[in-house]
Structure 1
Amino acid sequence: MIKPAALLSLLAVMTAHAEQLVMPTGSQPSVSGTASLPDKGESMQAVNRQFGEPRQRHAAAGGDSPQHPPITRWDYDGFSVFFENQHVIHAVRPDAPAPLARRDGLSGG
């Protein structure tokens, strides 16, 4: 029969084991030497000054009425920036998960 103290120490050793996830070098997205993204409301000029010329500029979509303002996308290495008229409305990393919008409804467990 196993003594309680021995059982507790065996359980402690078993639960102390953890796996280590190692990411290969170069597998993380490159963001032009910076970890930040443009902030909502920044102007196109400010984004251009901070991050340089985009790899690709897409033509504006929409703009046919005030309810449908022109939306433009600039692609950089590792992220894209969306503008409404001349200001940032969103910046995203294509391979990153979407941020949680309703964290208050989550519970640990």
Structure 2
Amino acid sequence: MTKNRILLGTLALATTLALFPAASAVAEEIRVPVGAQADRDQANFPGTGMSQASVRSSWGSPLEIQGPVGQPPISQWHYQNFVVYFENDRVIHTVLKHNR
């Protein structure tokens, strides 16, 4: 009984592969690092460690300010092309907005 099941399973697999040869096709995978997916020229947005005063003097007043919230206090400054995240008075991260 077990030999019949193994034989039947093998036969079913062979038939499936013969009928659907595309199922064994190989696809190419392309990996693009996150940092290379956009124009990330350092001059175009605030860098880590900059103060709020230096961000404001270089890029002007933000369109919107959210926060601060939490402990330590985190705030967001929204500009047209990016959002700057501050911990207290210092930039901890800048995120580019998706261009539509």
Aligned mate of 1:89, from 89, 92, 100 = 92
Matches within 5 A, 1:24-43: 36-43=44-51
State the Cα distance separating 1:89 from its structure 2 match.
0.2
TM-score (structure 2 length as normaliser) = 0.54
- Cα distance in 2 for partners of 1:52, 1:82 equals 15
Give the AA of the match of 1:73: Q
Identity of aligned residues (%): 39
- Report which of the two has the higher share of strand: 2
Larger RCO (CA under 8 A, 6+ residues apart): 1
Equivalent residues, number: 59
Q: 2:18 matched to which residue of 1?
A: none
Gaps in structure 2 of 5+ consecutive residues: 1-42
Q: Within the alignment, does 1:52 sit opposite 2:60 as a pair?
A: yes
Aligned mate of 1:70, from 63, 68, 73 = 73
TM-score (structure 1 length as normaliser) = 0.50
Give the AA of the match of 1:41: G
- Cα distance in 2 for partners of 1:93, 1:55 equals 15
Larger C-alpha radius of gyration, 1 or 2? Answer: 2
Give the AA of the match of 1:61: V
- After superposing on structure 2, the runs of 4+ consecutive aligned residues of structure 1 that deviate more than 3 Å are none
Gaps in structure 1 of 5+ consecutive residues: 1-34, 63-67, 97-109
- Cα distance in 1 for partners of 2:97, 2:55 equals 18
